A = this chain, B = another copy of it.
């Protein structure tokens, strides 16, 4: 049987325009990947009466209520007290929660502020959910066959607790048969309508449902099926979709492109060095966000000043004066110079104009040159990316990653 689930998000900042709620979308996405969907989602401010009313009304209508926010140490954090009142329980100092908060501060090597004790005040008879990335433990409250999960509002704390504690509970509560399964393919370099047209030609199984998402600069193609044959169906669909979209499918599942490239480099035992200009360190940041990056990334340089391009990468003054820092010749010289400086297997360079200023009629904002060098291999190319500064930087950095991915696949 399918379980009906609601989300209750608590916080004035979500209603007065100072913060936009990302938790609801995150919960919907994670549940969606399990084949579950929300029945409703409600956001209210930090008022005790409103919280009580919302809890009572939601629990009357839904099997499960996921509550986020209001578990912090300050006076405007009212969720635990409101939950106690709503369900006629005493608010008590939960020893297990207090112990967890103390231990969290111990691992940080910092003293616990007395006010953090408030975060151990919980309604009677709840199950504590540990928080590994912050001070606020969560809790589960059972009431007349309904489950209420109380999570912190800080997105990364909410997210960690949701995955570790809430999802396993929900998987148990809902039968496998009713659940929808999903495969997500991350596509780079094809637009949504283009993907849709290619997929229509591929004639995927008709029982399959298809949805699209965007995580700039990627398009997510979501293949969904339910029932006993879902796994086989998705297997077949993924194969057909990959045939239709070819090399533009960069990853499947939740992997980022940088993760895939990092694994490729590690598996091949290859080292890499990067020379960045317009991306300003973003390419290095993406690659080093994953643990273990020091195994393949030797060094990287953000060379804004021309002096840095010549000092560190040996770019000649002729190139800088005649071709300019944003040119095919400069990109290639940067990559060659970087490979020599680092003694790495691969070296990649990116130079361009991210904007909003600095564009010219010949080289408008969005002009970006990439170059990749390896033993006996050189590749260089210019692009004209659309979008604002952030989008140009993201496109350039991910295009660079995609170059490395394709090179290592050869």
Contact = CB atoms under 8 A, between A and B. Distances in A.
A39 interface: yes
Interface residues of A, number: 107
Interface in A207-244: 210-214, 216, 220, 222
A342 B304 CA distance: 11
Contacts of A115: 193, 196-197
Interface stretch (A80-88, A293-301, A400-408): A293-301
B72 A341 contact: no
Interface in A335-377: 341-343, 355-357
A133 to B, nearest CB: 6
Interface in A1-49: 12-22, 24-25, 28-33, 37-46
A194 B110 CA distance: 13
A237 to B, nearest CB: 16
Interface stretch (A121-129, A167-175, A307-315): A307-315
B281 A288 contact: yes
A100 interface: no
A318 B237 CA distance: 58
Interface stretch (A91-99, A137-145, A382-390): A382-390
A371 B367 CA distance: 36
Contact of A284 (B154, B281, B356): B281
A300 B281 contact: yes
B25 A39 contact: no
A211 B281 contact: no
Interface of A: 12-22, 24-25, 28-33, 37-46, 50, 54, 57, 72-76, 107-110, 113-116, 133, 154, 156, 180, 182, 184, 191-194, 196-197, 210-214, 216, 220, 222, 274, 276, 280-285, 287-289, 291-294, 297-305, 307-308, 311-312, 341-343, 355-357, 384, 386-391, 393
